[in-house]
Amino acid sequence: MKMSKVKSIVAFNVEKSLRNKWFVVLNAILLIITVVSFNFNTIKIILKENDISLDKTTNIYVMDSENLAINNIINGFFNSSLNKLVNIEKVEDKATFEDLIKNIDKQDIFIEIDASRTDDIYSKMTSKEGIDIEYYNIIEDAIYKSRYEIFARNNNIPLEKLQDLNEDLKIERVMLDVDNENTSQKGMILLITNYLVFFILMIVLSLVANEISQEKVSKSIEYILTSITAKEYLVSKVIAVNITLILQIVFSFMYMLIGLVINSILRMYFVDINFVGIASGMDISSILNPQMIKYIILVIFYIIITVPILSLIQAAISSKTTSIYEAGNTTILLVIINIVIYLISSFVITPLKAPGSFLYIASVIPIVSMYFLPAMLIIGKATILQIVVATVLLILSIPFILKICSNIFKKGILDYTNKKSKKKSEEKDTESCEIDALKRQDLKKFGFIIGMSVILFVALQFIATYALTPLTSIIYNFFDKKISLSNISTIINILVYIVSLYIPYLFVNMYAKNDISYINKENENKNVTSKNFVSWVKSIVICVPLVFVIQMVLSFILQKLNLDYDILEKFDLYDSSSNFSKALFFLEIAILPAIFEELYIRKAVLGLGRKYGDKFAVIFSAILFAIIHMNISQCIFAFLMGVILGIVVINNKGSIIPSGIIHLLNNGYAALALIFSNNIFLLVILTICYLSLILVGIVVIIREIVINIKEKKKIIFFSGNKNIIFKNYVYIICDYSMIVAIILVSVMMTLMQTTISLL
């Protein structure tokens, strides 16, 4: 790499940016806004002290026949900076007060005070429109003070004691394994820092995307690449953009300094002769403690390294675009990815809980480390080894990412410029290209359908929950409190569950009905014969012991990993005081999942996915089945069970009846075991029945294996299916709806897991 060429290109680009007329206009406006904002209050104070006001006088009319609050209102404004801007007038009778309201002006405020209730004050404030918050706060404080005085006087309580009682209660928390000191301040610092990171990213990535796309469209980049390599161009472009940003930040700090200096001068000459300057009263040592200094240094270091890496990725992606509009969309995509990483870090990194091994591993991954590591440092949980490993990996990733991005960038530009030279060869392969394009579009459409169904699933859960939850008290009172609140809550959960699964099923089914391959698969199971019935029974009997063994093995493994598998042990899910409660619980846990999850996952999603091959359909539907449980410990079992149920559906000509029964038996046993937990006799009978079914299943499995060995048959799970080619199916996640769904589910799963871990 020739650094002389890189330096010259960087110098040219930086100069071009700084001399751009829009850069000058933006900074001129920014300077004016900064200076005015830093001096606005000081100028107002100067004008007030010289009896010059830009504000109109506000007339406050108070009707307070018993003099309950009038004095406190007058004193409140007299002791404030608004004392010269208000005119307070007491109105004696109701008729005069109402006549004044009829001719109300924009600056008028009418206050009516009455003590019609014992120990309390009735107050009413009338204005033509909303009033300034400063005025409202003074009036509210005055009325509150009057209320305290009346209550204290009527109950013979000293006013000071009553005010002390209304002070915020302070509880000192001591957590031996975590640093929970000043958690609110730390949280605010983290929030401000991450907003600053997002602001920097938006500017840098937008500049990179716009410049690359403009140069590509204008073809000026073609001439540049004739004299330098793609790697040199990328490096120079990223350096130039980041230097421009640094200079913009420097300019902004200069504007702030100018504003502060002007403010100091005005204060010293016109307000306070003893004012000693911009550093007056500022205790730097209290703000910049050693831990905070380490945090700031670490954040700055990771911004300096990570932002250029993201700029390289942005440049590579922008080289594939054909317009500035597309380049803007790629910027949004990268920013959203960073926001998702930040949201995950804010959920899983908390001063209220010590971080686990997952966080320590994730915090050293390049790009992720920019959010995870500083957050762990500020709560005192980042180690020296962790910082060293993260730094080494981040630095080592730079040449690797640069090489990949420069190759992508070069291909993106050359593919755009060499279209004419490839025209003849493309004409020969037009038919095959069209077929490939149709396949990609079909896969993207499948991604759109599934992605939208997942978005609908999550959105409907939230919407239905917030829409139906307020009905709890209404239903409770409507039935004269004969139905318990817990039962009403369960009924609402059932309705939410049905809506959130059935509508996505209808959505997928709507698209699936127009698919020929789906229709052909559906026609397989129209005529149910005795042979189908025997196949159903065999599938059910074989799968019960398989599911049981998987549960036992996973339960053991997850306990060793400190992941609670059985969520029923963590929450009291139902009110066991009545048979109605038990019936609702069984309906919610066993029956409804066996119907609606099978409809959505196995009927619609698996059925639609079978045109890409049975293996793909089973694996994809199993992944989706795991995802909708939104809990890591449940996801593992749900995926394995999803694979088993998918195979059952395919081997039974697309029928979801046997898979639904298997689903019902699995969930039903868990629900009944909890319902009969206090009845040993029924629990023993239930366990014997379930174990008997498992033994029968084991016998059938052994018999099937022996028969296959004797007849030298291979065990075939899928017939006539296609092979999974992952490079083709990756187009499914290229659809925007699928990307949003993945981000949404990732955030929801993180939130759910964090919530459970804190309980």
Q: Which residues contact 336 (CB under 8 A, 6 or more apart)?
A: 743
Same domain, yes or no, for 128 and 256? no
Q: Is residue 285 very low, low, confident or very high in pLDDT (cuts 50, 70, 90)?
A: very low
Residues 475-500: what's their mean pLDDT? 81
Same domain, yes or no, for 160 and 185? no
Tokens at residue 67, please?
């003099």
Same domain, yes or no, for 265 and 287? yes
Show the beta-strand stretches assigned E in 348-472. none
For 254, how many CA atoms within 13 A lie in the half-sphere containing its CB? 9
Query: Of 52-56, 535-539, 627-631, where does the model show the most confidence?
Result: 535-539
Which of 509, 527, 508, 510 minimizes the C-alpha distance to 655?
527
Predicted pLDDT of residue 91? 87
User: Would you say residue 566 lies in a domain?
Assistant: no
User: Would you say residue 450 lies in a domain?
Assistant: no
Same domain, yes or no, for 140 and 181? no
pLDDT tens for residues 199-219? 788 778 887 877 777 776 666
User: Would you say residue 623 lies in a domain?
Assistant: yes
Last residue of a domain, one of 104, 136, 165: 165
Predicted pLDDT of residue 209? 79
Same domain, yes or no, for 133 and 230? no
Same domain, yes or no, for 622 and 745? yes
pLDDT tens for residues 449-473? 888 888 888 888 877 777 777 777 7
User: Would you say residue 515 lies in a domain?
Assistant: no
User: Would you say residue 44 lies in a domain?
Assistant: no
CA dihedral 478, 484, 485, 487 (to 10 degrees): -110
pLDDT tens for residues 661-676? 999 998 888 888 888 8
Last residue of a domain, one of 146, 165, 184: 165
CATH number at 96 reads: 3.40.190
Predicted pLDDT of residue 644? 92
Please state, in angstroms and rounded to a whole number, the distance separating the CA atoms of residues 745 and 732: 16
Predicted pLDDT of residue 602? 92
pLDDT tens for residues 437-448? 677 778 878 888
Same domain, yes or no, for 63 and 26? no
Beta strands 109-114 and 122-127: pairing type? Answer: antiparallel
CB-CB contact of 182 with 291 (8 Å): no
Which of 521, 549, 540 minimizes the C-alpha distance to 718?
521
Which of 17, 542, 550 minimizes the C-alpha distance to 241?
17
Torsion 3-6-12-15 (CA) sign:
negative
Q: Total structural domains in the chain?
A: 3
Kindly list the strands in the beta sheet with 86-90, ordered across the sheet, starting from the edge strand earlier in the chain: 86-90, 58-63, 109-114, 122-127
User: Would you say residue 310 lies in a domain?
Assistant: yes
CB-CB contact of 411 with 230 (8 Å): no
Comparing 540 with 245, the larger pLDDT belongs to 540
Last residue of a domain, one of 109, 130, 165: 165
CB-CB contact of 33 with 83 (8 Å): no
| Length of the chain measured in residues | 759
pLDDT tens for residues 317-361? 887 776 666 666 777 778 888 888 888 887 777 766 667 777 888
Residue 680's Cβ-count burial label (10 Å; 0-12, 13-18, 19+) is: exposed
Same domain, yes or no, for 377 and 246? yes
**What b-and-e string marks burial along 483-513, b requiring 16 or more CB atoms within 10 Å of the CB?**
beebbbbbbbbeebbebbbebbbebbbebbe
Predicted pLDDT of residue 570? 37
Please state, in angstroms and rounded to a whole number, the distance separating the CA atoms of residues 177 and 435: 60
Which of 741, 504, 500 minimizes the C-alpha distance to 603?
504
pLDDT tens for residues 124-172? 888 888 888 888 888 888 888 888 777 777 777 776 676 666 665 565 6
Domain residues for the domain of 696 are: 540-560+575-758
What amino acid occupies position 629? H
Please state, in angstroms and rounded to a whole number, the distance separating the CA atoms of residues 498 and 594: 12
In the beta sheet, which residues pair with residue 61? 89, 110
**What b-and-e string marks burial along 514-536, b requiring 16 or more CB atoms within 10 Å of the CB?**
ebeebeebbeeeeeeeeebeebb
Same domain, yes or no, for 581 and 608? yes
Q: What is the mean pLDDT of the chain?
A: 76
Q: Which residues contact 369 (CB under 8 A, 6 or more apart)?
A: 302, 306, 363, 390, 393, 394
Query: DSSP secondary-structure letter at 461?
Result: H
The DSSP result for 24-93, as a single string, is: HHHHHHHHHHHHHHHHHHHHHHHHHHTT--SSPPEEEEEE-TT-SSHHHHHHHHHTSTTTTSEEEEE--S
Please state, in angstroms and rounded to a whole number, the distance separating the CA atoms of residues 69 and 63: 10
Same domain, yes or no, for 116 and 197? no
Please state, in angstroms and rounded to a whole number, the distance separating the CA atoms of residues 504 and 32: 53
User: Would you say residue 741 lies in a domain?
Assistant: yes
Which of 154, 156, 65, 166 minimizes the C-alpha distance to 118?
154
Please state, in angstroms and rounded to a whole number, the distance separating the CA atoms of residues 532 and 538: 10
Q: What percent of the chain has pLDDT over 70?
A: 74
Consecutive H or E run containing 696? helix 680-710
Same domain, yes or no, for 322 and 196? yes
Same domain, yes or no, for 218 and 157? no
Widest Cα–Cα separation across the chain? 108
User: Would you say residue 462 lies in a domain?
Assistant: no
Residues 717-723: what's their mean pLDDT? 53
